[in-house]
Structure 1
């Protein structure tokens, strides 16, 4: 039954006013004893002593919740006194108060204590009734004493068990609810990371190409309009590809339920040449070395077994992100080498760049083992010995640019100038690096999302991704992907 707000139901009111409820219970027990005694026998009459003992026993029930053991001892003592002083026909009305006190103790203690206490009360009072009663020891009234006390102990134990069961159910429900909430939060976090990784892989590569080619076009627009048109054509092609992939990704994210299979195959090593052509048009010098049949990109060995789709896509994304980082961070004079091999039940992808020592010196990078800012993973963070004056003063933009005639050289020229002008923001590094502060001093403002995405992709397949500086300068990304994709949560192989 539903009650209006602010109005308590009967049980809620009793729980809120326990002292009043106990006083009412004591009065009810006293009245019940009187009625039972008067109506139960024509020959039995209560004396003043009987009334006094009964009244004391019932009055003690008003504090049964506060001092249950004391009330039990008091009512049992009064019951024993009643039996010893009134050996009439075994009738012991005050035993009802002792039974209520025993019920209270049983409902508030453990089962072992309940049964020991109940047995002591039952046997003790029954033995007294048998010894002092006028009737035979096996009389019905004597066993009534045992029955009342035994039922009280059993009822109290049942109530306690029921309360414990309900409490356990509620706690289990709360734990399950917390687990569901935690699982939901975990799934949301994983989905957000997956979406971020996909969007980064789709957009970052094309935007980097657009940035370089747009800078080239702006630089040569007046002097060499033909090269500017060619650069703008590359911008248009890269932006069209970015929009197409972004539209596909957003379309998958908008689908409710399980996403449908895409109409076009996911990119893989089979279209690696198209990816490399885009980088080469942007001025990056990159070569590919394939070793072993079935590595996915070796046209001379097409007969090898096909790569698993997940491995093929991961290898493609790793190469894409690595070359994008080379283009953004390693300098215009850097060379990149992509090595792909398939052996021992795994696919290995290694992307090396030589770091362009001249570029490192221009921005103040320590070449030996320093790596590339923003692209560290458990290796020594890159350190800049000093801030680049050109970055703050704009002097780099005033240096005369060398004459270039080919688009690649023009891209290098623009990249060199733009990087010197914007060294504080072009390398995905911690701002503290350029100011002489320890790497990571301004955590949370840098980049590094691409590296994180590569590690997550490799880990999801049970593989290993290692990134770090090369001893002779430059940077290396090395990924090992098992061809037999392990179940989710399997440990990655040791490097």
Structure 2
């Protein structure tokens, strides 16, 4: 925690951070100038002055690293030529080379680092009459190369950590986006289920209640039958609502009522309820009837349910036809009615048609609907019989 706090403080005070190595070098230079073979003595002013002069550019090393390398190198090389008995390493130039390697490109860092190493070693060898690649001259060459290599390693490490953090942040954003997308899809799916269930059964209850009210005094027996249908329809509505709400439950919730969702096997019961509400419906099946994917089964049932509900509620139709055509790979569902062409413009919200199209598209199918030239309304859905794992 303390190290992290120090790093944050240094990041906010870049000028002080840049000047810190210069302060350390001055302390070392004074100590080295005051040490001798026979003990401590007064520091040699020339060596300390040149060290101080070479450290001044380091205050700007983070802002202008290449210029600082040039300035410190010029001072250190001049000091080697003017004060040949100054044996200390050109430390300010080494700090500048390290800083340049951490902040610039690898090509720039190594180009400047190699040239600086050769210059330092060459000037030292010339002023001290030593071979270029032997002894102390070679050691100064190694120091310059090592400073550049260390700075290059630090820069590579920082870049690696930055890439890791970026990937982690990107992965986190991707997870959040995916979670929001899944929540939205689930919300829309449950909204479709609730709309289909409520709209269908409430429409039937309303129609059957109207029949019962109309016949209550003139034909009590038929009115009693209508009331019985209302009871059955409302119970079916409650069962489907419980099944739909059960989609929201977690696996460890109390298993109150988890009735299976309806499918084409329940089509006869659906048609029976529609007929009880006063709409004549015929069902035709062509092709080889066979089991379909669960998602297709539910989608086909909901499309037929919503289509007949709209016919009963908006079209003022007397008859509707339902056709199931089993093809080689698709199930074609067609629902037509003989309602008035202007009645299709009734007071509906349009959510039913949108929901049917969303259901078909969600499993890889298509849906089209519209008024027929001779009157009435037609809904046609092409649904895949089987789904790939990605679609299912």
TM-score, normalised on structure 1? Answer: 0.72
Q: Does 1:454 align with 2:374?
A: no
Q: Report if the CA contact (8 A) 1:356-1:474 is conserved.
A: yes
Match of 1:330 in 2: 315
User: How far is 1:485 from its partner?
Assistant: 1.9
Match of 2:50 in 1: 53
- Going from structure 1 to structure 2, the CA distance change for 1:18 and 1:292 (only over 3 Å counts) comes to closer
Q: Report if the CA contact (8 A) 1:339-1:349 is conserved.
A: yes
RMSD: 2.8
Moved more, 195-204 or 271-280: 195-204
Match of 2:14 in 1: 18
User: How far is 1:458 from its partner?
Assistant: 2.1
Match of 1:30 in 2: 26
User: How far is 1:227 from its partner?
Assistant: 4.0
Partner Cα distance (2:301, 2:72) in 1? 85
Match of 1:172 in 2: 167
Correspondence list, 1:72-471, <5 A = 72-88=69-85, 91-93=87-89, 95-256=90-251, 266-294=261-289, 305-331=290-316, 333-356=317-340, 360=342, 372-373=344-345, 427-428=347-348, 447-471=349-373
User: How far is 1:83 from its partner?
Assistant: 1.7
Q: How far does the alpha carbon of each residue in 1:46-87 deviate from its partner, in whole angstroms, 9 at most, with x for none?
A: 754433221111122222223322221111011111122233
User: How far is 1:489 from its partner?
Assistant: 4.8
Runs of 5+ consecutive residues of structure 1 not aligned to the other structure = 295-304, 366-371, 374-425, 429-446, 491-495
Match of 1:472 among 366, 369, 374: 374
Q: Report if the CA contact (8 A) 1:96-1:148 is conserved.
A: no
User: How far is 1:122 from its partner?
Assistant: 0.7
Q: Report if the CA contact (8 A) 2:334-2:381 is conserved.
A: yes
Secondary structure of 1:9's partner? helix
- Going from structure 1 to structure 2, the CA distance change for 1:151 and 1:191 (only over 3 Å counts) comes to same
Partner Cα distance (1:348, 1:28) in 2? 84
Partner Cα distance (1:427, 1:221) in 2? 29
Structure having the larger proportion of residues in helix: 2
User: How far is 1:37 from its partner?
Assistant: 4.3
Q: Does 1:66 align with 2:50?
A: no
- Going from structure 1 to structure 2, the CA distance change for 1:240 and 1:65 (only over 3 Å counts) comes to same
Match of 1:432 in 2: none
- Going from structure 1 to structure 2, the CA distance change for 1:257 and 1:457 (only over 3 Å counts) comes to farther
Q: Which has the higher contact order (CA 8 A, sep 6+)?
A: 1
Partner Cα distance (1:252, 1:340) in 2? 28
TM-score, normalised on structure 2? Answer: 0.89
User: How far is 1:452 from its partner?
Assistant: 2.6
Partner Cα distance (2:335, 2:131) in 1? 103
Partner Cα distance (2:293, 2:7) in 1? 65
- Going from structure 1 to structure 2, the CA distance change for 1:452 and 1:41 (only over 3 Å counts) comes to farther
Partner Cα distance (1:18, 1:245) in 2? 67
Match of 2:387 among 475, 485, 493: 485
Q: How far does the alpha carbon of each residue in 1:89-140 deviate from its partner, in whole angstroms, 9 at most, with x for none?
A: x8244x1011111111111111111111111111111111122213344442
Moved more, 241-250 or 42-51: 42-51
Runs of 5+ consecutive residues of structure 2 not aligned to the other structure = none
- Going from structure 1 to structure 2, the CA distance change for 1:134 and 1:115 (only over 3 Å counts) comes to same
Q: How far does the alpha carbon of each residue in 1:266-299 deviate from its partner, in whole angstroms, 9 at most, with x for none?
A: 43333322211111111112112222232xxxxx
Q: Report if the CA contact (8 A) 1:461-1:486 is conserved.
A: no
- Going from structure 1 to structure 2, the CA distance change for 1:17 and 1:329 (only over 3 Å counts) comes to same
Q: Report if the CA contact (8 A) 1:252-1:259 is conserved.
A: no
- Going from structure 1 to structure 2, the CA distance change for 1:314 and 1:258 (only over 3 Å counts) comes to farther
